[in-house]
Amino acid sequence: MIDFPKAREKMVEEQIIARGIKDPRVIAAMRKVPRHLFVEEALQGQAYNDHPLPIGEKQTISQPYMVALMTEALQLTGKERVLEIGTGSGYQTAILAEIAQEVYSIERIRSLALKARRLLYELGYYHVEIKVFDGTVGWPEKSPFDAILVTAGAPEIPPPLYDQLGLGGRLVIPVGDAYSQDLIRVIKTKEGQKREDLGGCRFVKLIGRYGWMENGTINQ
């Protein structure tokens, strides 16, 4: 029998705190959310390891450190309305839901969205709404957002996502080619866009109107 709480605590100490994540809200969320429930049973023993894992449909649940880094980059205080693009397993959604007041998440693959929605409901995250759609167009009816997180790699920043940020809002998104990207934070200010590069990363492709086409070319 695997001791999941113990494995989770070890993950937080060795992969999250030791690597410089400082936001107490992010650390508390990583301590609480049962990551092993977001992967299939055969992979649960690896759920707290330092790498991504397959979740079906050729998609992945991101490495724990990357989830923590991206969440910290959103600078959440607890009152925010957050949009996530790429629900996947729903693990990152749960981390956001531990901290933010309202979480909206869009996933283009129906089977993943339905599975994540069921699990998040079972875990009591009633302030999360998930829809099956192309997230590169955002969710205009629910905008403006205080923070937007994209968990797939984009060729460039989808304009609708920047448009749907409120003033002071943060957009965190991997931008680059199909094989490697930089994690970019864009802050919407009165003076315009403030853009920062938070370092290299590697994500599956953001596929959609303002992302990649399925065949790997840019969809614009």
Interaction of residue 73 with ligand SAM, rule CB under 6 A: no
143 classed as catalytic: no
| Contact by Cβ (8 Å): 185, 196 | yes
Which part of the chain contacts ligand SAM (CB under 6 A), choosing from 16-24, 42-50, 181-189, 203-211? 203-211
Q: Shortest approach of ligand SAM to residue 160 CB, angstroms?
A: 11
- Should residue 207 be labelled a site residue for ligand SAM when binding is judged by CB under 6 A? yes
Q: How near is the Cβ of 52 to ligand SAM at its closest, in Å? A: 7
Total residues at interface with ligand SAM (CB under 6 A): 27
CA distances from 152 to 21, 22, 26, 127, 176 (A): 21, 24, 20, 23, 11
Instruction: Report if residue 44 touches ligand SAM, rule: CB under 6 A.
Output: no
Q: Does 72 bind ligand SAM (CB under 6 A)?
A: no
Query: Who contacts 169 (Cβ-Cβ below 8 Å, separation ≥6)?
Result: 144, 145, 146, 147, 148, 187, 188
The phi-psi region of residue 191 (left if phi > 0; otherwise alpha if psi is between -120 and 50; otherwise beta) is alpha
Residue 18 phi/psi, 5-degree rounding, is -60, -25
Q: Does 61 bind ligand SAM (CB under 6 A)?
A: yes
27 Cβ partners below 8 Å, 6+ apart?
Answer: 12, 16, 17, 21, 68
What gap in Å lies between CA 36 and CA 48, rounded to an integer? Answer: 7
Taking the least distance from each CB to ligand SAM, the nearer of 167 and 177 is 177
* Binding region for ligand SAM (CB under 6 A) out of 15-23, 130-138, 167-175, 191-199: 130-138
- Binding residues for ligand SAM, rule: CB under 6 A, are 55, 59-62, 85-86, 88-89, 91-92, 106-109, 112, 134-136, 151-152, 203-204, 206-208, 211
